[in-house]
């Protein structure tokens, strides 16, 4: 009887993990990492890539649920050292592994940046139950459209996400991640409402959702190239 009670107690205990801890510290990191996460959007930016002025990234500035225990989040305003801090881990997550750009695929199919960005925002609006509000937005340019999307989706409710990333090494030799959402496929989708029925959320798998660090002698490339063969993120 005593043995049975001990086994039941052990089953109820949460699994030990170091995935959110900083090196040399027992505290959770203030930055979000790869994996299946519950996050919300604090804001959205539409950023020109540093290597191609015609290519843009949709960047979700996200925050996790509040972290319990010993945790100190980043300051909300770096100019106010005594100001409020984020209660959860934060990060910048690109909406796609590849930038949005007009391109022609090897098959001859043409990809239009504006159309792909609009489709991305439709998908996000349906996750956040804001499709009706999205459909009221009209804009002359895609940049103006994304300004309105930032207003619509900022400070969102929490939702489920599968977050992938590309590894990179900082000056101290630690591995960090350039975060992005994996492409939707027959295996599932990267974003989903918390209360979704018949969940199709992607289950994080490092071998599929993380691009491991390349050895320096293999590549000295600093920026990720625009991949015209990436195709349409919203075609299943």
pLDDT of residue 180: 97
At residue 48, the 3 state secondary structure works out as strand
pLDDT of residue 176: 86
- What b/e string do you get for 81-103 counting C-beta neighbours within 10 Å, with b at 16 or more? eeeeebebbbbbbbbbbbbbbeb
Q: Are 133 and 152 in contact (CB under 8 A)?
A: yes
> Which tokens in the block code for residue 227?
């991949």
At residue 157, the 3 state secondary structure works out as coil
pLDDT of residue 174: 82
| CA dist 187 → 59, 193, 204, 205 (Å) | 24, 17, 11, 12
> Which tokens in the block code for residue 178?
């350039």
Per-residue model confidence as pLDDT tens for the chain (236 residues): 444 444 444 444 445 555 555 555 557 889 999 999 999 999 999 999 999 999 999 999 999 999 998 899 999 999 999 999 999 999 999 999 999 999 998 999 999 999 999 999 999 999 999 999 999 999 999 999 999 999 999 999 999 999 999 998 888 888 889 999 999 999 999 999 999 999 999 999 998 999 888 766 444 444 444 444 344 554 43
Distance between CA atoms of residues 106 and 225, nearest Å: 16
pLDDT of residue 21: 53
Say how far residue 106 (Cα) sits from the centre of its chain. 28
């Amino acid at each position: 009887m005593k043995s049975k009670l001990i086994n039941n107690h052990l089953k109820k205990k949460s699994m030990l993990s170091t995935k959110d801890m900083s090196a040399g510290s027992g505290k959770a990191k203030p930055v979000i990492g790869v994996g299946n996460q519950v996050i919300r959007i604090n804001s959205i930016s539409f950023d020109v890539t540093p290597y191609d002025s015609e290519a843009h990234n949709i960047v979700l500035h996200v925050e996790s649920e509040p972290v319990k225990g010993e945790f100190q989040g980043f300051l909300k305003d770096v100019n106010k050292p005594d100001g409020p801090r984020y209660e959860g881990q934060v990060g910048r997550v690109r909406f796609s592994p590849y930038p949005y750009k007009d391109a022609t695929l090897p098959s001859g199919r043409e990809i239009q940046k504006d159309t792909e960005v609009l489709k991305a925002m439709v998908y996000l609006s349906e996750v956040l139950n804001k499709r009706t509000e999205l459909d009221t937005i009209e804009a002359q340019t895609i940049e103006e459209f994304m300004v309105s999307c930032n207003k619509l989706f900022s400070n969102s409710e929490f939702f489920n996400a599968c977050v992938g990333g590309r590894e990179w090494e900082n000056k101290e030799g630690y591995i960090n991640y350039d975060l992005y959402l994996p492409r939707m496929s027959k295996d599932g989708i990267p974003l989903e409402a918390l209360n979704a029925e018949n969940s199709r959320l992607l289950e994080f798998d490092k071998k599929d959702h993380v691009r491991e660090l390349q050895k320096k002698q293999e590549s000295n490339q600093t920026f990720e190239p625009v991949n015209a063969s990436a195709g349409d993120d919203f075609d299943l």
